[in-house]
Chain A
Amino acid sequence: DTEVTQTPKHLVMGMTNKKSLKCEQHMGHRAMYWYKQKAKKPPELMFVYSYEKLSINESVPSRFSPECPNSSLLNLHLHALQPEDSALYLCASSQESGYRSTDTQYFGPGTRLTVL
């Protein structure tokens, strides 16, 4: 199984809503990532979890809150988002620790988020 799954596929939310994005992988990977991708741009790294611990936070606003309940699951909790946060949110995983590793990252299909 070389698949990373993400739910929901699409999400529309208001600026006062609280929602969560979910990501799951069953490849035994120990590093998981959240990326944000705007149209016509490359993915932009937000967070890296290595062995279920947050290892990198790329200065992401606190309205985005990641959580790694176990080695297979990664959540992104959203609260008080702004319209400019509308984007494709991608989850990825890689075999080894995200820190000091150059392993291939496998991406999920993403959640297309629209903030009204």
Chain B
Amino acid sequence: GQQVMQIPQYQHVQEGEDFTTYCNSSTTLSNIQWYKQRPGGHPVFLIQLVKSGEVKKQKRLTFQFGEAKKNSSLHITATQTTDVGTYFCAGWDSNYQLIWGAGTKLIIKP
């Protein structure tokens, strides 16, 4: 079936280091959304990407949507403790099904 693969599953970083998570779909997506879920919390919408090759920035976060609309990435520059959580991508496929990635958990090393 249709899948969105998200890697890595976990990423440990020192505070101040960068963080990147990647999503790859087996099919073309009409758009892709990114959510953040803090420990013990619920998914919170971050951004939606619609256009091929689109790049959007939110302060230290940079989101990209691939040219073929099959892959996306989220990059955080100079991580802070407030960035801790699990980042999910979720893509809408051509059948209007929302397919979720497995999530990448960002862990800040003490």
Contacts and interface: CB of A to CB of B under 8 A. Distances in A.
Nearest to A58: B97
Contact of A42 (B41, B44, B103): B103
Given A104-B33, A104-B48, A43 B96 contact: no
Interface majority SS (helix, strand, loop, mixed), chain A: loop
B43 interface: yes
Interface in B92-110: 92, 96, 98, 100-103, 105
A90 B44 CA distance: 12
**Chain A CB within 10 Å — which of B43, B44, B100, B101 has the most?**
B43
A4 to B, nearest CB: 9
Interface stretch (A13-21, A70-78, A94-102): A94-102
Chain B interface bracket (under 10, 10 to 19, 20 to 34, 35 or more): 20 to 34
Contacts of B98: 45, 105
Nearest to B44: A107
Contacts of A45: 98
Interface residues of A, number: 18
A22 to B, nearest CB: 15
Contacts of A40: 103, 105
Contacts of A106: 45
Contacts of A104: 33, 45, 48
B33 to A, nearest CB: 7
Interface of A: 40-43, 45, 88, 90, 99-102, 104-110
30 contacts: A40-B103, A40-B105, A41-B102, A42-B100, A42-B101, A42-B102, A43-B43, A43-B100, A45-B98, A88-B42, A90-B42, A99-B96, A100-B96, A101-B96, A102-B30, A102-B31, A102-B92, A102-B96, A104-B45, A104-B48, A105-B45, A105-B98, A107-B35, A107-B42, A107-B44, A107-B45, A108-B42, A109-B41, A109-B42, A110-B42
